[in-house]
Structure 1
Amino acid sequence: MAKDMNAVAFSALRDRYNAVRSRTEALSAEFSAEDLCVQTMPDVSPGKWHLAHVTWFWETFLLSEAQPGYEPFDRRFNYLFNSYYEAIGERHARPERGFLTRPGLEEVLAYRAHVDRAVNDWFDQASAEAIDTCRTVIETGFAHEEQHQELFLTDIKHVLSRNSFPEAGYPRKLEPAPELIATRPDPDWVAFEGGLFEFGHLGGDFAFDNEGPRHKAWLEPFALASRPVSNAEYLAFIEDEGYGRPEFWLSEGWARMQDEGRTHPFYWRRRDGEWAEFTLHGEQALHPDAPVSHLDYFEASAFASWAGARLPEEREWERAAQGCRPDTGRWASADSLLHPQPQRSDTGLQALFGEVWEWTRSAYSAYPGFAPAEGAIGEYNGKFMCGQFVLRGGSCLTAPDHARTTYRNFFPPDAQWQMTGLRLAKDL
Structure 2
Amino acid sequence: MNISKIYKEVRNATIDFCSHLEIEDYSIQVVQFASPAKWHLAHTTWFFETFILKNYVQDYVAFNANFNFLFNSYYNNVGSRILQTNRGNMSRPSTDEIFAYRAYVDTEMQDFLKDVSDKNLLDLVTLGLNHEQQHQELLITDVKYMLGHNPIFPLYHEGVNLIKDNNANTESITIKAGLYKIGHQGNDFCYDNELGVHQVYVDDFEINNHVVTNGDYLEFMESGAYSDFNLWLDDGWSWVNKNQIHAPMYWHKIEGEWHNYTLAGLQKVDKNAILSHINFYEANAFAEWKGMRLPTEFEWEIASQQLDWGKRWEWTNSAYLPYPNFEKENGAVGEYNGKFMSNKMVLRGASVATSKNHSRTTYRNFFNPTERWQFTGIRLVK
SS in structure 1 at match of 2:26: helix
**Structure 2 matches for 1:310-329, cutoff 5 A?**
310-322=293-305
Q: Write the letter of the residue equivalent to 2:335.
A: E
Corresponding position of 1:412: 368
- 1:65: how far off? 1.3
SS in structure 2 at match of 1:196: strand
Corresponding position of 1:253: 236
1:154 aligned onto 2:137? no
Q: Write the letter of the residue equivalent to 2:24.
A: E
Distance in structure 1 (CA, Å) of the matches to 2:113 and 2:278: 43
Distance in structure 1 (CA, Å) of the matches to 2:313 and 2:176: 24
Kindly indicate whether the alpha-carbon contact (under 8 Å) linking 2:161 and 2:262 is maintained by their aligned counterparts in 1.
no
Distance in structure 1 (CA, Å) of the matches to 2:161 and 2:108: 41
Distance in structure 2 (CA, Å) of the matches to 1:127 and 1:386: 37
- 1:373: how far off? 1.1
Distance in structure 1 (CA, Å) of the matches to 2:345 and 2:354: 18
1:115 aligned onto 2:126? no
1:36 aligned onto 2:20? no
SS in structure 1 at match of 2:302: helix
**Structure 2 matches for 1:66-77, cutoff 5 A?**
66-77=56-67
- 1:33: how far off? 1.7
Structure 1 stretches of 4+ with a deviation exceeding 6 A read none
Q: Write the letter of the residue equivalent to 2:76.
A: E
- 1:243: how far off? 0.3
Distance in structure 2 (CA, Å) of the matches to 1:34 and 1:127: 39
Over 3 Å counting, the alpha-carbon distance change for 1:419 and 1:242 in structure 2 is same
Corresponding position of 2:125: 138
Distance in structure 1 (CA, Å) of the matches to 2:195 and 2:112: 31
Kindly indicate whether the alpha-carbon contact (under 8 Å) linking 2:214 and 2:269 is maintained by their aligned counterparts in 1.
yes
Kindly indicate whether the alpha-carbon contact (under 8 Å) linking 1:176 and 1:287 is maintained by their aligned counterparts in 2.
no
Distance in structure 1 (CA, Å) of the matches to 2:161 and 2:234: 37
SS in structure 2 at match of 1:191: strand
Corresponding position of 1:238: 221
Corresponding position of 1:284: 267
Corresponding position of 1:202: 185
Q: Write the letter of the residue equivalent to 1:104.
A: S
Corresponding position of 2:93: 103
Distance in structure 1 (CA, Å) of the matches to 2:370 and 2:143: 19
Distance in structure 1 (CA, Å) of the matches to 2:273 and 2:349: 16
Corresponding position of 2:173: 190
Kindly indicate whether the alpha-carbon contact (under 8 Å) linking 2:175 and 2:206 is maintained by their aligned counterparts in 1.
yes
RMSD of equivalent CA atoms = 1.6
1:363 maps to which of 319, 334, 350: 319
Corresponding position of 1:402: 358
Q: Write the letter of the residue equivalent to 1:162.
A: H
Q: Write the letter of the residue equivalent to 2:344.
A: Q
Distance in structure 1 (CA, Å) of the matches to 2:163 and 2:340: 41
Corresponding position of 2:40: 50
Kindly indicate whether the alpha-carbon contact (under 8 Å) linking 2:279 and 2:372 is maintained by their aligned counterparts in 1.
yes
Kindly indicate whether the alpha-carbon contact (under 8 Å) linking 2:3 and 2:113 is maintained by their aligned counterparts in 1.
no
**Structure 2 matches for 1:292-303, cutoff 5 A?**
292-303=275-286
SS in structure 2 at match of 1:425: coil
Cα deviations across residues 243-299 of structure 1 (Å, max 9, x unaligned)?
000111000000110111110001111112111100111111111111111101000
Distance in structure 2 (CA, Å) of the matches to 1:371 and 1:381: 11
Q: How many corresponding residue pairs?
A: 378
Kindly indicate whether the alpha-carbon contact (under 8 Å) linking 2:116 and 2:122 is maintained by their aligned counterparts in 1.
no
Distance in structure 2 (CA, Å) of the matches to 1:34 and 1:224: 45
Over 3 Å counting, the alpha-carbon distance change for 1:167 and 1:60 in structure 2 is same
SS in structure 2 at match of 1:87: helix
Runs of at least 5 residues in structure 1 that lack an aligned partner in the other structure: 1-10, 178-186, 325-348
- 1:164: how far off? 2.0
Q: Write the letter of the residue equivalent to 1:267.
A: Y
Over 3 Å counting, the alpha-carbon distance change for 1:36 and 1:256 in structure 2 is same
Q: Write the letter of the residue equivalent to 2:98.
A: V
- 1:173: how far off? 7.1
- 1:127: how far off? 4.6
Runs of at least 5 residues in structure 2 that lack an aligned partner in the other structure: 165-169
Kindly indicate whether the alpha-carbon contact (under 8 Å) linking 1:176 and 1:285 is maintained by their aligned counterparts in 2.
no
- 1:175: how far off? 11
SS in structure 2 at match of 1:390: strand
Distance in structure 2 (CA, Å) of the matches to 1:38 and 1:256: 26
Identical pairs, percent:
41
Kindly indicate whether the alpha-carbon contact (under 8 Å) linking 2:163 and 2:262 is maintained by their aligned counterparts in 1.
no
Cα deviations across residues 398-421 of structure 1 (Å, max 9, x unaligned)?
001001000000000000111111
The normalised TM-score by structure 1 is 0.86
Distance in structure 1 (CA, Å) of the matches to 2:256 and 2:246: 15
Kindly indicate whether the alpha-carbon contact (under 8 Å) linking 1:392 and 1:409 is maintained by their aligned counterparts in 2.
yes
SS in structure 1 at match of 2:270: coil
SS in structure 1 at match of 2:76: coil
SS in structure 2 at match of 1:190: strand
